[in-house]
């Protein structure tokens, strides 16, 4: 299956969040060990949250390594990337290894199942997976960007970089 890069969002808000809202805080286990807490980076870094539907799927297996390849570019804009799925930590660990190693946190929203995705308005309840969605959270904890894409379409990272440049 060929992965298509998408340039058009299907939504720039969710049923629960809009640009300018306070980002819901969360703490989730990482495939790197330990946990990641969003508010721990407040005042220090912008955070790019990439919700992905499921490990070991074609589009996710293109998107996640692309962010790894762009890691230095994100860092140059003072941004930390994190991926979030409803997969278990063990699944994310195995998948990261199969992809050749992912050095940014892949977070498990496994239990309570999809609770963070639900709070961000991107849980597809009847399928039990997250939408493919990207959020940029500024250093103050406010949502600066929302991009919800079709499941089968890989988001273009360039609009994220444009937002990060504006945030400074």
pLDDT band at 54 (very low <50, low <70, confident <90, very high): very high
Average pLDDT over residues 159-167: 97
152 is a domain residue:
yes
127 lies in a domain?
yes
Tell me the pTM. 0.93
| Confidence band, pLDDT 50/70/90 cuts, at residue 6 | low
Query: Would residue 2 count as lying in a domain?
Result: no
Question: Which residues are known to be catalytic?
Answer: 60
Provide the residue range defining the domain that includes 134.
Answer: 10-167
Share of the chain above pLDDT 70, in %: 93
CA angle 92, 102, 154 (to 5 degrees): 80
Backbone region of residue 4 per phi and psi (left: phi > 0; alpha: psi in -120 to 50; beta: other values): beta
Average pLDDT, the chain: 94
Q: Is residue 40 part of a domain?
A: yes
| Residue 24 forms part of a structural domain | yes
72 lies in some domain? yes
Check whether 16 has a pLDDT greater than 60. Answer: yes
Residue 2's pLDDT band (boundaries 50, 70, 90)? Answer: very low
Mean pLDDT of 64-87: 98
pLDDT tens digits, 91-126: 999 999 999 999 999 999 999 999 999 999 999 999
| 86/74 Cα distance (integer angstroms) | 24
Whole-number Å distance between alpha carbons of 75 and 77? 5
Contacts of 126 (CB under 8 A, 6+ apart): none
Render pLDDT for 18-29 as a digit per residue (tens, 0 to 9): 999 999 999 999
Q: What is the CATH number of the domain that holds 85?
A: 3.40.30.10
| The predicted structure's pLDDT at residue 9 | 62
Q: Domain count of the chain?
A: 1
Higher pLDDT, 1 or 53: 53
Is position 23 within any domain?
yes
In a domain, 48, yes or no: yes
């Amino acid at each position: 299956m060929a992965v298509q890069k998408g340039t058009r969002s299907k939504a720039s808000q969710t049923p629960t969040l809009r640009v300018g809202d306070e980002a819901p805080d969360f703490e989730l286990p990482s495939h790197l060990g330990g946990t990641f807490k969003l508010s721990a980076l407040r005042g220090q870094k912008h955070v790019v949250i990439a919700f992905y539907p499921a490990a070991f799927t074609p589009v996710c297996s293109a998107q996640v390594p692309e962010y790894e390849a762009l890691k230095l570019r994100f860092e140059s804009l003072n941004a930390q990337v994190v991926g979030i799925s409803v997969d278990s930590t063990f699944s994310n660990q195995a998948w990261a290894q199969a992809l050749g190693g992912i050095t940014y946190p892949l977070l498990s929203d496994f239990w309570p199942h999809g609770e963070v995705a639900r709070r961000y308005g991107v849980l597809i309840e009847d399928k039990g997976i997250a939408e493919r969605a990207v959020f940029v959270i500024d250093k103050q904890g406010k949502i600066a960007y929302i991009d919800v894409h079709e499941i089968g379409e890989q988001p273009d990272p360039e609009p994220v970089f444009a937002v990060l440049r504006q945030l400074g």
